[in-house]
């Protein structure tokens, strides 16, 4: 199997702005299975030694089958993330992905979809609809599952994307807001909860 790495840039309809940055490990194989991935349980030995520490990232939770959410994963979380058998990660921040994380993705064959949404302190700044729409397309495409959605703390940007997914799943607004507030805690933003 031959491997190389390529970076794919996706532009919006006007072609002027980078909306999503994708990093993936490309492998040449004889047979390509196009069926959706099957979530198979991972067997973790009940080793009492310190060689296996499974630490989930901050604010980690399962959103739906094959969809997870969290804050920014660090190297302490890599062993835990390996148990999820991730195919993709959706990163919602504009800052470059750290080199250690990129190496982890490459060594595990995980694609990175980066949607650079600014994190504002100002509570009345809108998250761009076209960016959320593009991120939702990645979430809904089962070929990307299992997928982890994250921003810095797994609160506002991640909460907005998950909230939009919940609307597509026909959740009532009060349930969408309740879930958002559970992860955002005291910092829930009114502008993030507006129905568009």
Q: pLDDT digit string (tens) for 55-83?
A: 999 889 999 999 999 999 999 999 999 99
Q: Are 118 and 103 in contact (CB under 8 A)?
A: no
- Catalytic site includes residue 164: no
The pLDDT of residue 95 is 92
The pLDDT of residue 113 is 95
For tokens 């390996």, the residue is 82
Could you tell me what percent of the chain has a pLDDT over 90? Answer: 41
Residues listed for the chain? 196
Q: What is the mean pLDDT of residues 100-120?
A: 90
Q: What is the mean pLDDT of residues 91-111?
A: 93
The pLDDT of residue 65 is 93
Q: Are 60 and 68 in contact (CB under 8 A)?
A: yes
| Non-local CB neighbours of 182 within 8 Å, separated by 6+ positions | none
Quick one: DSSP state of residue 152? S
The pLDDT of residue 184 is 83
pLDDT digits (tens, 9 = 90+) for 7-28: 444 444 444 455 565 555 443 3
Q: Which of 20, 93, 151, 164 is catalytic?
A: 151
pTM equals: 0.70
CA distances from 141 to 101, 119, 162 (A): 23, 26, 15
For 59, the token pair is 């604010």
The pLDDT of residue 59 is 87
Q: Are 24 and 6 in contact (CB under 8 A)?
A: yes
Gap between the Cα atoms of 137 and 175, Å rounded: 22
Gap between the Cα atoms of 103 and 23, Å rounded: 11
Is the pLDDT at 29 greater than 50? The verdict is no
- The strands making up 111-114's β-sheet, listed across from edge to edge, are 2-11, 18-28, 111-114, 88-91, 147-150, 67-70, 61-64
The pLDDT of residue 2 is 42
Q: Are 144 and 87 in contact (CB under 8 A)?
A: yes
Burial class (CB in 10 A: 0-12, 13-18, 19+), 153: buried
The pLDDT of residue 53 is 83
Domains present along the chain, CATH in parentheses:
53-191 (3.90.190.10)
The pLDDT of residue 193 is 47
The pLDDT of residue 119 is 75
Nearest to 120 by CA among 160, 147, 74: 160
According to DSSP, the residues that pair with 148 across neighbouring strands are: 68, 89
Q: Are 158 and 69 in contact (CB under 8 A)?
A: yes
pLDDT digits (tens, 9 = 90+) for 127-174: 788 888 999 999 999 999 999 999 888 888 888 899 899 999 999 998
């Amino acid at each position: 199997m031959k491997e190389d790495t390529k970076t794919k840039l996706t532009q919006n309809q006007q072609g002027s702005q980078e909306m999503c940055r994708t990093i993936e490990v490309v492998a040449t194989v004889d047979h390509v299975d196009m069926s959706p991935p099957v979530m198979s349980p991972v067997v973790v030995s009940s080793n009492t030694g310190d060689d296996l520490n499974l630490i989930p990232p901050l604010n980690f939770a399962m959103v739906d089958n094959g969809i997870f959410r969290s804050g920014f994963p660090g190297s302490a979380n890599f062993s835990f993330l390996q148990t999820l058998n991730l195919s993709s990660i959706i990163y919602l921040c504009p800052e470059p992905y750290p080199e250690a994380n990129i190496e982890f993705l490459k060594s595990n064959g995980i694609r990175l979809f980066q949607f650079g949404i600014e994190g504002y302190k100002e509570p009345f700044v809108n998250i761009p609809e076209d960016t959320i729409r593009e991120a939702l397309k990645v979430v809904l495409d089962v070929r990307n599952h299992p997928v982890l959605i994250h921003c810095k703390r797994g609160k506002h940007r991640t909460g907005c994307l998950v909230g939009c997914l919940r609307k597509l799943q026909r959740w009532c607004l009060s349930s969408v807001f309740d879930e958002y507030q559970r992860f955002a805690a005291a910092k829930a933003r009114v502008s993030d909860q507006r129905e568009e």
